[in-house]
Chain A
Amino acid sequence: MIAEAGLAALWLAAALALLQLVLAFTGASPAVRSLAVTQGLMTLIAFAALIAVFVRTDTSVALVVANSHSAKPLMYKFAGTWGNHEGSMLLWVTVLALAGAALALLQRRIGERMLTASLGAQAALGLGFYAFLLIASNPFARLDPAPAEGKGLNPLLQDPGLAFHPPTLYIGYVGLSVAFSLAVGALLTRDVGPALARAMRPWVLGSWIFLTLGITAGSYWAYYELGWGGWWFWDPVENASLMPWLAATALLHSINVLAARGGLRTWTMMLAVVAFSMSMVGTFLVRSGVLTSVHSFAVDPTRGTFLLGLLALYVGGALALFAWRASHVAEGGRFALISREGGLVLNNLLLSVILGTVFIGTLYPLFAEAATNEKLSVGPPYFNAVAGPVALLLALLLMIGPLLRWRHHAAPLARWVAPSALIIAAALMISLIAAPEMSILSRLGLAVGVGLVPASLMPLAGRSLRRTPLATWGMAIAHLGVAVALIGMASDSAFKSETLAIAKPGDRLNVGPWLVEFASVDPVAGPNWTAVEAELRATRGSGVSVLHPQSRTFTDPVTETNESAIATLWNGQLYTVLGRAREDGWQLRLWWKPFVTLIWFGGALIALGGLLSLGGRLWRGRRRAESEA
C-alpha cells in the first residue's frame, strides 16, 4: 500500500511537471508557481514512502529485498534508502523538484516573466528524470512472491557517512539546476543583467556550499573507510563531483562581476549552463554504470542510454538556446587588464582549464574504448601532473586578485604582495634545506599554501573589521580555507611515513615519531557483524594513544571489511589497519600523517566562507528590498 502510494505520487509529480511546462509557455505565472510547489510536495511524499518501506523492511518491494535486511541497524535501514541506484535517483529527483518549489516560493528579485520561463525550464528538467525513474528505474517495483528476507546492504556503505554524504552532495549537484533554469529563463526573456546575477547568486552559493561539504565529507569517509590511507583517488566518481564544483566555483566568481559591474554576461550564462551540465554528466557517469567504482550499483545498458539521451537533450538544448540568444545579450562594462574583473577572468580561465583536463581525463577511457577497443584507465599520475600545476597558478593569483580594484587598478601592489612573496621564498628555502627529497609539486604546494595564509586575510587589512561586509569576510575565510587545505595536502604527500609488517601480540613497531606496541587481538561482535580487534598502544614522548583497528566479517551478505582506527592529534593522524591473519602473525599497516587533518579543516573553512557570504548577501538583499518598499 505504501509503495503504491509512493508510485502514485511520483506519477502525479510527473503529470504536474508536464502541466507546469505547458502553462509556462502560455505565461500563466501564478498557476506555474503553485504547480512547482505541489510537484515538490508530491516527490517528497514519494520519497517518504520509499523511506517507510525501507524502515519497515517490506520484502514485497524488490528494491528493499536487493538492498536491505531486517537485522540491519535502524539508521542504515533509513540511510540505505539512497544506498542503491533507484533510491538515489529518487533522492535526486526529489531535490530537483524541491529546488523548483523553493525557486517558486522564494524568488522575488526577478520579473514574473523570467521566473515563469525558469520554472518551465525546471519542469522540463524534471520531466526527463521522472521518465527515467518511472520507465527505467522504478524504485517501488513489487516482488511476488515476497521473499522472507532481504539480501542486505554493501557493508562498505554501513557507515554514518551514508546518512550524510549523498544527500549533501545531491543538494549541491541538483541545486545547480536552479542556476541552469534561471539562465535559460533569462536567455528566453532576453533579460540578462545584474538583477539576474543578484537573483542567481544565493542559489549558486547555496549549492556550492553543499557541494563543498559533500566533497569534503566524502573524502574523509573514503579516507577512513577504505583503509588505504588516501583521501583522494581521482576515481571517476570523485571527479564526477569535482567537475560541477569547479564549474560552480568559476560561476561564483564570474557572477560577482555581473552583479557588481554588469560585465561577463554571456560568459556567466554559459557557466550556469555548464555547471548543471557537469552535474548531469556526473549523474550519467555514476548512474549508467559505464564507469566502475564503489558507487556503481548496477550495470544496465538501457539506463545508460536513457541518461545519455537526457544529457544530450538538455545540454544540447541549452547550448542551442545560448548560441541563438548570445548575440542579443548586451555588452558589459569595460575594464582594464589589471583590475578586479581582469583577475576574475583569469581565475575563470584557470578553473576552466582544470575543469577541461579533469573532464578529458575522466572520459578518455570511454572514448578510447569506443574508438580503439582498447581498455585503459587514467589515474592519479595524469591528474596530479596536469591539474596540479594549474591549481598552484590559481592559488598564486589568489594572493593578488582580491586586492585589485574594480575597473582599473592603478595603485602599486608591491606593498601588499611583498610579505606573501617573502614568506613563499622563505618556505621554499627552508624546505630545500630541511627536506631536500620532497617532490616539486608538494614543495611548491606547501610554500604557496603557507604564503597564502596571510595573503588571504590581506583584503581585511586596514579596514574597520566591524564594518567589513560579511561577504568580504566570507571571501577571506574561504580563501584561507584553500591555503589550509593546500598545506594539508602537501604535508601529507611529503611527510607521511608508512610501516607495513607482520606482527604478533607483544611486538613493537616504529612509524614516524611513534612507537606502536601490538598489545592483543580479541574477538568482538556487533549487530550484524563479528570482528577481530587489535589493541595498539602508541607512544610518542609522554602521551599514550590506544587504538582498536578491526577486521570485520559481516553477515547478509558475507563480506569482510577493515575498520581502520585513527588517533587524531593536533599535528596529524596516526592511522592503523589490521589486515588478515597469517601463519606467522597479523598484517598491520601503520601510517603517520602529519597535518593531514588540515585538508578537511580547509574544506570546512571554504564552506564556512561560503555560508558567511550567503548570509551577508541575503541580509543585504532583504534590507535593500525593504528600503525600496
Chain B
Amino acid sequence: MKAKHQRLVLALLAIVALVAAVLLAMWGLADRAAYFRTPTDIAGGKVKQGEVIRLGGMVVKGSLKEQGGTSVTFDVTDGMDTTAVRYDGILPNLFREGSGMVAEGRMSQDRFVADTIFAKHDERYMPPQMGNQTAEHAAAKTLVK
C-alpha cells in the first residue's frame, strides 16, 4: 500500500468513526432523553404514564406534607394547573414552598413520583404570567443543580 492510499484509508476510517458516533448517539437519544413538562402539559394529557420526564414549576405554599417514613408530598403549579408530587428522600437545601423546583420522575395514576429533585435555584424566580414564558422555562433557566 502506498503512503497516499494509506492516507485515504485513514481518512475513510475517520469518517466511519464520525458516522458511528452519530448513529450511536441517535440510538441512545431515541428513548433516553427526558422531556421538560409543566403541570399544564400533564393536565392536557401530553405525558404518558411511566414515561420519564422532568417536571418544572413552583411548590404550592402549604402543600408540603410529611408522609410515612422519609417520603413527602407536595403540589407543583405553573400558575394554570397543579400536579401532586410524591418524593422519597432528602429534599435539596433550597427546596421551599413558594419556590421553583425541577424534578425527574414519572406519572403514576394522577400523581408524579419523583426520583430526583433539583430544586436549587435562586430567589429571583417569578411565577409566570398568562401568555408569558411558561414556568418550567423560567425554572429551567434559573435552575442551579
Footprint of B on A, CB under 8 Å?
154, 227, 233, 235, 264, 266-267, 289, 292-294, 296, 299, 331-335, 345, 349-350, 352-357, 360-361, 364-365, 368, 374-379, 381-382, 385-386, 390, 500-502, 559-562, 577, 579-580, 582-584, 587, 589
Contacts A332-B3, A334-B3, A361-B28; A296 near B34 (Cβ below 8 A): no
Chain A: which residue is nearest B30 at the CB level? A382
Taking A353-B21, A580-B90 as contacts, is the C-beta distance between A500 and B70 under 8 angstroms?
A: yes
Task: Please tell me which one of the listed residues A299, A377, A579 contacts residue B90 in the complex, with CB atoms under 8 A apart.
Answer: A579
Is there contact, CB below 8 Å, between B35 and A376? yes
- B64-87 contacts to A (CB < 8 Å): 66, 69-70
* A381: nearest chain-B partner, CB-CB: B32
| Known A560-B93, A587-B90; contact A292-B24, beta-carbon cutoff 8 A | no
A70 to B20, CA, bound (A): 54
How far apart sit A583 and B20, CA to CA, in the bound complex (Å)? 55
A378 and B29 contact, Cβ closer than 8 Å, known pairs A293-B145, A334-B1, A559-B93: yes
Contacts of A345 in B (CB 8 A): 10, 13
Chain B minimum-CB-distance residue to A557: B123
Q: Do residues B89 and A352 form an inter-chain contact, with CB atoms below 8 A?
A: no
Q: List 16 A-B contacts (CB under 8 A).
A: A293-B144, A335-B6, A353-B20, A353-B24, A354-B21, A356-B21, A360-B25, A360-B29, A364-B25, A365-B33, A376-B54, A381-B32, A382-B28, A386-B27, A500-B70, A559-B94
Given contacts A361-B25, A386-B28, A589-B90, contact A375 B35 (CB under 8 A): yes
| Interfacial chain A residues near B120, Cβ < 8 Å | 294
* B7/A331 in contact, CB under 8 A: yes
Compute how far the CA of A361 lies from the CA of B89 in the bound complex, rounded to whole angstroms.
28
| A389 and chain B: residue at smallest CB distance | B24
Roughly how many angstroms separate A582 CA and B68 CA in the complex, as a whole number? 12
On whether A583 and B66 interact (CB within 8 A), knowing A292-B140, A386-B28, the answer reads yes
A560–B141 Cα distance when bound, in Å, is: 21
Is the CB of B43 closer than 8 A to any CB of chain A? no
- Taking a contact as CB atoms under 8 Å apart, the answer to whether B33 and A377 are in contact is yes
- Any A CB within 8 A of the CB of B126: no
CB pair A377–B54 under 8 Å, yes or no, is yes
B88 CB, min distance to chain A CBs, angstroms: 7
CB–CB A377/B144 < 8 A: no
Closest 7 CB pairs of A and B: A356-B21, A375-B36, A331-B3, A579-B90, A360-B25, A386-B28, A382-B32
Please pick, from A331, A375, A381, A500, the residue contacting B89 in the complex, using a CB distance under 8 A. Answer: A500
Query: What is the CB-to-nearest-CB distance from B2 to chain A, in angstroms, rounded to a whole number?
Result: 8
Closest to A582 in B: B66
B139, chain A: closest CB distance, angstroms:
9
Q: Are B88 and A500 in contact (CB under 8 A)?
A: yes
Given the complex, which residues of B lie within 8 Å of A560, measured CB to CB?
A: 93-94
Inter-chain contacts of A332 with B (CB < 8 A): 3, 7
**Cα distance A313–B52 in the bound complex, in angstroms:** 39
Q: B29 is contacted by which of A264, A361, A580, A584 (Cβ under 8 Å)? A: A361
